[in-house]
Amino acid sequence: MLPDKQARVRLEGGSVRLRSVSLRQDRLVRGSPHDRATSLPCRGGRVRVEGQDVGDLTTAVRRFVREVLVPAEPAVEENDAIPAAIVEQLRSFGLFGMTIPEAYGGLGLCMLAEARVAFEIGYAAPAFRSYFGTSNGVGTLGILLDGTDEQKRRYLPRIAKGAIMAAFCLTEPDAGSDAAAITTRARRDGDDYVISGTKRFVTNAPQAGLFTVFARTADKDAGIAGISTFLVDRERAGIEIGPLDRKMGFRGSQSADVRFDECRVPAATLLGGKEGVGFKTAMRCLDHARIHMAAISVGLCTRLIDEGVRHALGRKQFGRAIAQFQLIQAMLADSEAECFAARAMVEAAARAKDQGEPVTKQAACCKYFATEAAGRIADRVLQLHGGYGYLKDFPIERLYRDVRLLRLYEGTSQIQQLVIARELLAEKAR
């Protein structure tokens, strides 16, 4: 039986005590062991999820999101930063270690449990999730999947506590969707590697203490077999953080270029101690990240629908609430149906991943459908608000800008279409 963990949320001018936030998963049904390459450890070992008992955690997170994060959104938008007090509250929940096993101080949530928490976190402005989710998501998954025991011991406990943040350095100025085209080099020099190159759109670059860096250890002719992964500490000489990106939305989630100029690192920083497997690591990280991002999108869809319903019930035209008009009802119905479908897709893909099944196609389907649905729902809800939806006084104006990014990162919608088609055709050809 797993130990209880407590979470408390303190608010300025008072406190909200979330007592007895049990993270027990006594109802988890153990399944047969499966390949470590396709699944990460779940709390209590590898499990098959049936009626998973994470209700206390999700209830606590739901309350925290609605009572703390949502009211803080205007300040985060204005200042383009998340208050330190809220960061500390996120740490108190253990959210910096959602994916990290208990052995390293994390919550050890399996994919379905993580998705259910993400449904709740996604209800607030996505900058909050981006702050901790990127660190214990793509920033850490490579270590979990392919890291040595020493690399795990060195980094995972600190990441789980939120003592350091991890950033994912794959994209470059000339290598976005074509990730295999990266040109950052890692040259072997005795017992060291020397890294040179520029990484773009690095989320949490200003705050990160660890960079998971993908670089070429062989000539470009080697293709993806020439890409390796390095764990680079922030204090290494030769690292420069560029100016903050000025984004359309996602204010509070800071990103920037990271430049490596003859940055010398020990050979022990090579992830897993093996050259040439970096691209495979990146793609496996993205399978997980795409399910997670789809779950966040479901949370945003839920928020958007709530904003639409609230306005439709309160706004009156022609002597009655606009919610009584059938065209308004149609917009809400379409939105609710898409949100329901996206949630079902995410839960199905998460269960498959927890059972050790290959989920590349399912993850791409989830990410494609859920993020596109969020865009459609945001557009309907803004339309439902009429001219008010175009004003910064209403949350929909900001949420409309925020959801636009969902279709771009962790692979664009077009990349998801290509992945889905490639996997589908390969299945039929077997």
pLDDT per residue over 271-328, tens digit each?
A: 999 999 999 999 889 999 999 999 999 999 999 999 999 999 999 999 999 999 999 9
Q: Which residues contact 107 (CB under 8 A, 6 or more apart)?
A: 5, 23, 43, 94, 95, 97, 98, 100
- Contact, 31 vs 46, CB < 8 A? yes
- Contact, 380 vs 331, CB < 8 A? yes
Confidence bin at 428 (pLDDT 50/70/90): confident
Q: Yes or no: is domain 283-429 CATH 3.40.50.2300?
A: no
> What is the three-class DSSP state of 266?
strand
Q: How many alpha carbons fall within 13 Å on the CB side of residue 188?
A: 11
Rounded to the nearest integer, the mean pLDDT of the chain is 88
> What is the three-class DSSP state of 316?
strand
- Quick one: which of 173, 285, 268, 179 has its CA closest to 230? 268
- Contact, 229 vs 146, CB < 8 A? yes
Enter the tokens of residue 26: 């006594």
- pLDDT > 90 fraction of the chain, expressed in percent and rounded: 77
- Contact, 201 vs 255, CB < 8 A? yes
- Contact, 243 vs 191, CB < 8 A? no
Return the pLDDT at 409.
Answer: 87
Enter the tokens of residue 49: 């999820």
Confidence bin at 220 (pLDDT 50/70/90): confident
Classified by CATH at the fold level, domain 20-161 comes out as Butyryl-Coa Dehydrogenase, subunit A; domain 1 (1.10.540)
Confidence bin at 101 (pLDDT 50/70/90): very high
pLDDT digits (tens, 9 = 90+) for 135-183: 888 889 999 999 999 999 999 999 999 999 999 999 999 998 888 899 9
**Mean predicted confidence (pLDDT) in 83-104:** 92
- Contact, 301 vs 377, CB < 8 A? yes
- Contact, 384 vs 321, CB < 8 A? no
* Catalytic member of 102, 114, 275, 410: 410
Return the pLDDT at 50.
Answer: 40
pLDDT over 50 (residue 7): no
pLDDT digits (tens, 9 = 90+) for 132-141: 888 888 889 9
pLDDT digits (tens, 9 = 90+) for 17-59: 333 333 333 322 223 222 333 334 444 333 333 444 556 888 9
Return the pLDDT at 180.
Answer: 85
Q: How far apart are CA 146 and CA 149, in angstroms?
A: 9
Domain range 166-279, its CATH number among 2.40.50.100, 3.30.70.270, 2.40.110.10, 3.40.50.300: 2.40.110.10
pLDDT over 70 (residue 15): no
Question: Does residue 410 have an active-site annotation?
Answer: yes
Which residue(s) pair with 265 in the sheet? Answer: 193
| Residue matched to tokens 């949370």 | 299
Whether the CA torsion 387, 392, 395, 399 is positive or negative: it is: positive
Domain boundaries, the chain: 20-161, 166-279, 283-429
Distances (CA, A) of 248 to 37, 244, 252, 374, 424: 36, 13, 12, 17, 35
> What is the three-class DSSP state of 217?
coil
Residue ranges of alpha helices (H) inside 315-359 are 326-354
Indicate the angle between helix axes 326-354 and 278-314, nearest 10 degrees. Answer: 150
Return the pLDDT at 135.
Answer: 84
